[in-house]
Chain A
C-alpha cells in the first residue's frame, strides 16, 4: 500500500489539493516549465493539476506535493504515464526553493518508501541542459544508462534507480 502522506525533516509530502492551484499555475506559466514541454496557459495548468490528482485514483500511486513551512513548493514522485515502468519525477515550482536540498530530500523519502513497498526499479528522464535535476538524480543514487529517449521527450537522458545495486 503506497502511503498518501510522507514526512521528511523539513517537508510534508501529500496528494495535490485545490489550494495548490495558484502556485502550480504560476510555475506552469513560467519558463521553469520549459523543461517539461511548457510554458503552459492557465487553463492547461488547471487540467494538468487535475490529472496529477486523478492519477492517484487510477494507479493507486502518484505525485506528492512538497509542503514547506505550510506552502506548496513543488511535486515529487512516481508518474505512470502508461503500463510501463513508473517514472520518478521532481519539480520545484519556484527558483527561490532551489539550492537547499529540498528536492533531494523529497525524492529520497519517496524512493525509500517505494523501495520499502518492493518497487524494484524506476526510470528517470531529464533533459541534458537541466543540470540541477541531473545532480539530484545522482545524489539519490540513480545511474545514467544509454537508453534512448521516448518520442514524447526527445533528447532526454535516461537514469535508473535500482533497489538492488548490481554486484
Chain B
C-alpha cells in the first residue's frame, strides 16, 4: 500500500523513498544510531530502507520519513513497526536532525493517532533499548508506562512501554 501523508503542527510524515538514502545512511553511519541497530554501512542501510518501505506492503502499516514543513529532507523515521519477533506492533521514533525540540513526540503522537483512529488499534507499545534515555523521555512524555522487558534469545532484553489507549489520548 502507499503510505498516507500526515501533517502535524511543525512536521510532515511521508512515504520513504529513494531521496532519503543520503540522510538515512549518514545517520546509520554515526554513533547516534547505536540504540537502533547501528552503526552500519550505507549498503546495509540501503537494504534496511527497502525493508522499511516493504513493511507497508506486508503489514498494511509502517514507518514514515519525517520532514519539516518547508524542507523535504528527512530528519527522522517514525511510525508503526511490527517485525516477526516483536510481541506486538510498536510505535517507534528516531530523529537525527533537530533533537531536543519535541519532534519525536510530535511525530510519535501523529503515528499513534493514526494507529488508533485509522487502523482501529486498541493498544500500542514502544520497544526501547536499555540506555536510550532520550527515547524513554519521549515515551514518558506521551504517557507510556513501562512493562516487563521483552527478551529475544541471545540478545539484551528490550524495554517495553505501553501507551495510553485510544480513549485516554483522544
Chain A interface residues (CB < 8 Å from chain B): 15-18, 21, 41-43, 45-47, 49-55, 57-59, 81-82
Contact = CB atoms under 8 A, between A and B. Distances in A.
B51 A51 contact: yes
A82 B43 contact: yes
A57 B53 CA distance: 8
A58 B49 contact: yes
B50 A58 contact: yes
Contact of B47 (A43, A46, A51, A57): A51
B55 interface: yes
B57 interface: yes
Interface centre among A41, A55, A82 (most CB of B within 10 A): A55
Contact of B54 (A16, A41, A42): A16
Nearest to B83: A43
A42 B18 contact: no
A40 to B, nearest CB: 11
Given A43-B85, A57-B17, A50 B54 contact: yes
B81 to A, nearest CB: 11
A51 B58 contact: no
Interface of B: 16-18, 21, 43, 46-55, 57-60, 83-85
Interface centre among A45, A52, A58 (most CB of B within 10 A): A58
Contacts of B49: 54, 58
B17 A58 contact: yes
A51 B48 CA distance: 7
A58 B51 contact: no
B17 A46 contact: no
Nearest to B17: A57
Interface centre among A17, A18, A50, A53 (most CB of B within 10 A): A50
Contacts of B51: 47, 50-51, 54
B53 A21 contact: no
A16 B1 CA distance: 12
B50 A43 contact: no
A49 B48 CA distance: 11
8 contacts: A45-B84, A47-B84, A50-B57, A51-B48, A51-B50, A52-B50, A52-B54, A57-B17
A43 to B, nearest CB: 4
Contact of B52 (A41, A46, A54, A81): A54
A46 B60 contact: no
Contacts of A58: 17-18, 21, 46, 49-50, 53
